[in-house]
Structure 1
Amino acid sequence: MNLDRRSVLKNLLVVTGGVIFLPSCLHKNDATTSIQLKNLALTGNDEHLLAELSETIIPKTDTPGAKDTYTHLYILKTIDDCRTKEDQKKFEKGLKAFGKFVQKSTQKSFIELTPTQRDGVLLQMERKKNVPEDVQAFYKTIKGLTIQGFMSSKFYLTKVQVYELTPGRFKGCIQLPQPLKGNKQHV
């Protein structure tokens, strides 16, 4: 009898654990962002849009792109931690306006577009053709932060532009050129 009680309690514990953890396994992508944000109210879909936008600005080629270096997370943390409340609200509104602008222009969301179509949208942004001012300001912010985030990434600083704590190399013993005769040099 004691053995039956143990198996019942064990099974009850397994079922209870499953019920507790099931909601976390079934959460939708649009629930929350992958990093905790204190000031921005964005969804997982917003983060995905931002990742695809930054990847379109700096695409993956034979080197990692913006998504591979998590540039979109850099953008989110920078806006969340380092910008004013007003700038954060502009960012949120700009992200929504960008999504609506692309939907209106192409009848698809930015995420559904092909890489060529995404390039066309960004080309339209660059040329400022029929682009609302708030969308243009949002794009300018994202473009600048994407470049800044990519150039601050570990990949860029170790493989492309190798970071040196102290600029230049110290060369303690080097041969100086001999001055020409009759040439007066002032030191």
Structure 2
Amino acid sequence: MERRELLKLITLVTGGALIGGELFLSGCKNEPEMGGAAFNDQDIAFLDEAGETIMPKTKTPGAKEAKIGAFMQVMVNDCYTKEDQKIFHEGIGKLDKATKDKYKVSFMEATPEQRKELFTALDKEAREYAGKKSEFDREQSAKANEAKQKGETYEKKTMDPHYFTMLKQLTLLGFFTSKTGATETLRHVAVPARFDGNFPYKKGDRAFFE
């Protein structure tokens, strides 16, 4: 699976384009002055557990084995704008608060079943929000185009991304581009051969990773 194909899949699954996707494709390196809040060991452990809830270990490894927390740290620092970095870091606190509000325990203390139930609700909330954001963005683009045709200027307004969308996107991206995801979940072909449209496939076979 090529990077661009993976980005399209993530967009389809999460309802929005990959945040930081353009920088990711170009090598992902923010300017030093971008800064951003630092991640500590507790944050990385938290993100490992959050990622594992999205991509749990089954017959194949889960997100934690792909060191998803460390991957998120790099992506947020190198590929996110300062504004998006702030949203992501605040999202860690919001996720923990949502867990406490619902189950009276912190996210790290919650059971796998509680985490899964919470994430199912947050995923629905984030997808509904993404739909509203897409509609809002289209309206803003239309207003900007209309102003341009009149020789006027229009400063487009924006809606912030949902923190859970960020978390889910980074989990999927980090897992399927990791050695663990590429070789133990997908079928890896180090040097792809010719295309074979009649290659045998049976239900349950893993997808290929190039």
TM-score (normalised: structure 1): 0.62
> Could you tell me which of 41, 46, 55 is aligned with 2:38?
41
Q: Is the 8 A contact 2:56 2:63 kept in 1?
A: yes
Q: Is the 8 A contact 2:36 2:77 kept in 1?
A: yes
Runs of 4+ in 1 over 6 A off after TM superposition: 131-134
Q: Say yes or no: does 1:142 pair with 2:167.
A: yes
Corresponding residue for residue 85 of structure 1: 82
Q: Say yes or no: does 1:169 pair with 2:166.
A: no
Larger radius of gyration: 1
Q: Say yes or no: does 1:95 pair with 2:92.
A: yes
Change over 3 Å in CA distance of 1:85–1:170 after alignment to 2: closer
Q: Is the 8 A contact 1:156 1:162 kept in 2?
A: no
What is the deviation of 1:58? 0.5
Corresponding residue for residue 174 of structure 1: none
* Structure 1 Cα separation of the partners of residues 53 and 191 of structure 2: 34
Corresponding residue for residue 117 of structure 1: 114
Q: Say yes or no: does 1:153 pair with 2:178.
A: yes
What is the deviation of 1:111? 0.9
Q: Say yes or no: does 1:72 pair with 2:97.
A: no
Kindly report the root-mean-square deviation, in angstroms, between the aligned alpha carbons of the 2 structures. 2.8
Task: Encode CA deviations 1:20-56: one digit per residue, 9 max, x unaligned.
Answer: xxxxxxxxxxxxxxxxxx6332332222211110010
Corresponding residue for residue 123 of structure 2: 126
Q: Is the 8 A contact 2:99 2:110 kept in 1?
A: no
- Tell me, what secondary structure is at the counterpart of 1:142? helix
* Structure 2 Cα separation of the partners of residues 168 and 84 of structure 1: 38
TM-score (normalised: structure 2): 0.55
For structure 1, the 5+ residue unaligned runs are: 1-37, 172-187
**How many aligned positions are there?**
132
Corresponding residue for residue 105 of structure 1: 102
For structure 2, the 5+ residue unaligned runs are: 1-34, 131-158, 197-210
